[in-house]
Chains A and B, each alone.
Chain A
Amino acid sequence: MTDEHLMMLVADGNTGKLGILFQRHQAKLYDYFLRMTKDEFLSGDLVQLVFEKVLKGKHTYRQQYNFLGWIFRIAKNVLMDHYRTHRRTAEINDEVMGHPYAQEEDYSQSTDIEIAMGHLDEMYREVLILTRYDELKYKEVAEIIGLSETGVKTRVHRAIKQLKENYLKVINHDKGK
């Protein structure tokens, strides 16, 4: 059964089918949040939040929607909401406590390409994460991140160029050790 069919069943009141959609896509969402926030705990929370929003907004889903595109649009909104809230809180903390909003990144378990990816600009990182899935064409990615299809292509090309530069730096750094 396709994702779209399953989601229509969920929208029709068969809540149990959401479990199948979760099994199929939780990893993609977790991977997206993890690479964007670099925070495992937070990413787990955000995945849960996405599925809660899917259930809450089930009546807004239409069968002609690409399910993965739809769920990633929700994920993008969840992430933006988190940034808005968290950055505001961080700014207040900075003022009151004098603590900078920066997290120590742990790349001890990561491959060279993952380290290179982690150092990409956020907008480049996002577009590479999304375009790696066959189900998401440029059109769907454009809808998720709010760009034109041409804009997405250009961003992907530049992201790969930057990824290559980062990758070479990581390799050279490793060789220097």
Chain B
Amino acid sequence: MTRENKSERIIAYLLGDLTSEDKIMVENMVGDDPRLQEQVKQYQQLLDEWQSTKIQSLPESRIKHFENWLENEIQISSEKGKLRTLNWWKYIAVASIFLLLGIGGINYLNQVQTNKTFSQKKTDLLRLVSADNTTGRIKILNQFQTESINDPDILNAFIHVLENDKSTNVRLAAVDALSNLPHDEAVKSVLIRILKDDQEPAIQMAIINVLVKWRDPSSKSTLEELLKEDELPEDVKEEAFLGVTRL
């Protein structure tokens, strides 16, 4: 090992950069050599002196300068924070307005669409109730199965179909549609009248089912009177009897 290399090994040893094995090697190397021992002493002294050198602090004026700058930055940061909060509320407010306008607009459009649809359906219904196409008449009647019929024109059209249509299936569809009006006395009296006068058992049975479904006690007497008729078809009689027991 050269003299240069020996110096570097000693420095590494003093700085703690060696492995345990290398440390032992350096200790063995130095142990027999007074010149190397002197070197170790000198390097140790040098390192101690360097480590004890004072770390200089900034002059007071510079520290003051930093503190003023920081104070200013804190203030700027705080104002930015306030501005951000303000902006946040502004964004919320604007977003809310757009949201309300959007919801209002959508509702308005839905309403327009609903009105348009209802109006279109009504026109179709009034046109089709007198049409020849049975399937078409049933289809348009079925569109009102799930809706309350508040429009008097439609109600009259339904009653007209029930009383006059030549197709039993179309009339049954009209009964189904009218069954959605349990509290309408006019509809009830029409149904009772048709029940008594009609000759079509399917229609009579359908009307009995509607009256039972409505759970109106006054319908019980109607059914009891119906049962007294001698010429009443057996199927209708059975349906009426069951209806009386259920009411």
Contact = CB atoms under 8 A, between A and B. Distances in A.
Q: Do A and B actually bind?
A: yes
Interface of A: 13, 15-16, 18-19, 22, 26-28, 30-31, 34, 40, 44, 47-48, 51-52, 55, 111, 113-114, 117, 128, 132, 153, 156-158, 160-161, 163-164, 167
A132 B53 CA distance: 10
B55 A22 contact: no
Nearest to B7: A161
A164 B50 contact: no
Contacts of A34: 56
B159 interface: no
A51 B70 CA distance: 9
B59 interface: yes
Contacts of B51: 132
Given A44-B59, A153-B12, A160-B11, A111 B53 contact: yes
Contacts, number: 81
B190 interface: no
Contacts of B12: 153, 157
Contacts of A48: 62, 65-66, 69
Given A27-B58, A31-B56, A114-B53, 17 more contacts: A15-B73, A16-B70, A22-B66, A22-B70, A30-B56, A30-B57, A34-B56, A44-B58, A48-B62, A48-B65, A52-B69, A113-B50, A132-B50, A157-B17, A161-B7, A163-B50, A164-B43
B56 A160 contact: no
Nearest to B80: A13
Contacts of B109: none
A141 to B, nearest CB: 13
Consensus secondary structure, chain A interface:
helix
Contacts of B7: 161
Enumerate the 4 nearest inter-chain pairs by beta-carbon distance, A residue then B residue, closest first: A44-B62, A27-B57, A113-B49, A31-B55
A160 B55 contact: no
B100 interface: no
Contact of A27 (B47, B56, B66, B70): B56
Contacts of A158: 8
Contacts of B77: 13, 15
Contacts of A55: 73
A55 B80 CA distance: 15
Interface string B8-20: 1001100101000
A164 B65 CA distance: 38
B204 to A, nearest CB: 81
A148 to B, nearest CB: 14
Nearest to A114: B53
B50 A117 contact: yes
A47 B58 contact: yes
Interface in B19-48: 42-43, 46-47
Contacts of B50: 113, 117, 128, 132, 163
Contacts of A26: 57-58, 63, 66
A158 B12 CA distance: 10
B78 to A, nearest CB: 8
Contacts of A161: 7-8, 11
5 contacts: A27-B57, A30-B57, A55-B73, A157-B17, A160-B43
A156 B15 contact: yes
A52 B72 CA distance: 12
B70 A18 contact: yes
